Structure 1
Amino acid sequence: MRRHLMDEQTLNRLNADRLQSRQVDELIGLARGLIADGSINHAEVEFLEKWLVTNLSVSQQPLIATLYNRVGTILADGVADLEECDDLFAALSAFTAGDATLGEAAKSTSLPLCQPAPPIIFDGKTFCFTGTFSFGQRKHCEEAV
């Protein structure tokens, strides 16, 4: 009997859906752990970056890529300042559906508000940017539009 050896890249491609689902589940757990104490510090941002780098190479999960870019922006100057940590905390809180009350069922981690994505018409329109963005900081969103 002849055995076929597959490289890691081929295995990842064949198991892409399962891997991406597992990655999102793991990221939700990781995010819940990071925000459990009510804040995020520089060491936690670096830890998240290491996890994202490792998992970005396994699949092309858009959520991981977006968060990786955001964390990269935070750490670009070598310092995760308080405002950046607070923004990341808010994003991870929203992603994990926030804090749960003891005895309460876990909340949904996503809302079906943009499934499918609504059309966006840019010409002749005015946009107001508020809140926390998965794309990056407010100035990056404004520049993109």
Structure 2
Amino acid sequence: MVDLHQEFERSLYFHQARIDRRSADALVGITAGLTADGKINQLEAEFLKSWIETHLIHLEDPVVNILYQRLSHMLSDGVLDEDESIELLEILHQFSGVPVGAPQHAKGVSTLPLNDPVPELDWLDRVFLFTGIMAHGPRKDCESLVIERGGLIGNSVSKKIHFLVVGSIGNEQWLHSAYGAKIKKAVELRNSGVPIAIISEAHWQQVLFG
């Protein structure tokens, strides 16, 4: 709902904060609906981008802005390819896990089961896997930085993975939903003695850029 002509600006009920919250809550419901079948196609992605532009583009919310920026980047060439579809589905699953009406804000992922102490990062022939939303940019860009340094990219959590990098964009609710398939599997492998390290994007970026 957008108050295009400020018709409700002075109303005690239809004030802008309430409009923003209702729109944000509606976005959570929309993303839940779009991901219900376990896949996301180009028409759905284009609809979501258009809906955000109509209802929430003005909202100064880091999570909504990141979602919109990633959608725009994925659709910039006019095609949502298979890898982008998989990444978008994961982002939307995390977003729809936010309870309706819960406040949204950026937060790090320090409460996740990261390796402590943090490991040294080797690149050559080391296999990396990314999960969550990366502050650095789209996942493909992050993977390219690894490949440029002689590293490899894994397809899923397994004994072949050396580093699982957890993206640093999210909020408290996303942290709980992000502690899901990939991270849970990595923890199980690590606890069984497999040398897989769970690291934060902050550590990954520190090693990359100093």
Q: How does 1:62-141 map to 2 (within 5 A)?
A: 62-97=62-97, 108=99, 130-133=130-133, 135=135, 136-138=137-139, 139=141
32-41 or 129-138, which deviates more: 129-138
Q: Which residue of 2 aligns with 1:59?
A: 59
Q: In angstroms, what is the RMSD of aligned CA positions?
A: 4.1
Residue of structure 1 in register with 2:17 after alignment: 17
CA distance in structure 2 between the partners assigned to 1:11 and 1:43 by the alignment: 34
Q: TM-score, normalised by structure 2?
A: 0.46
CA distance in 2, matches of 1:25, 1:11: 20
In the alignment, residue 11 of structure 1 is paired with which amino acid? E
> Aligned equivalents of 2:101 and 2:37: distance in 1?
22
Distance 1:16 1:68, change over 3 A: same
Which position in structure 1 is the counterpart of 2:34? 34
Q: Which has the higher strand share?
A: 2
Counterpart secondary structure, 1:72: helix
Distance 1:111 1:28, change over 3 A: closer
Q: CA deviation at 1:16?
A: 3.3
SS at match of 2:9: helix
Distance 1:115 1:51, change over 3 A: closer
Q: 2:101 and 2:95 mapped to 1: Cα distance?
A: 7
Q: Which of the two has greater helix per residue?
A: 1
The 8 Å contact of residues 31 and 92 in structure 1, kept in 2 or not, is answered as yes
Q: Deviations over 1:21-80 (max 9, x none)?
A: 212210110001100111000000000011011023453333322211110000011100
TM-superposed CA distance for 1:89, in Å, is: 0.4
- Cα shift at 1:15: 2.8
80 and 56 in structure 1: CA distance in 2 versus 1, 3 angstrom threshold: same
Whose RCO is larger (CA < 8 A, sep 6+)?
Answer: 1
Give, in angstroms, the shift of residue 118 of structure 1: 8.2
Distance 1:133 1:115, change over 3 A: closer
Q: Deviation per CA, 1:68-97, whole angstroms, max 9, x where unpaired? A: 111000001110001101101001111222
SS of 2:77's equivalent in the other structure is coil
Query: Which sections of structure 2, spanning at least 5 residues, go unmatched?
Result: 111-119, 122-127, 143-200
Q: Which amino acid aligns with 1:17?
A: A
Output the amino acid matched with 2:62: P
Change in Cα spacing, 1:109 to 1:71, as seen in structure 2 (3 Å) is same
Unaligned runs of 5+ in 1: 1-5, 98-106, 120-125
Indicate conservation of the 8 Å contact 1:35/1:92, yes or no. yes
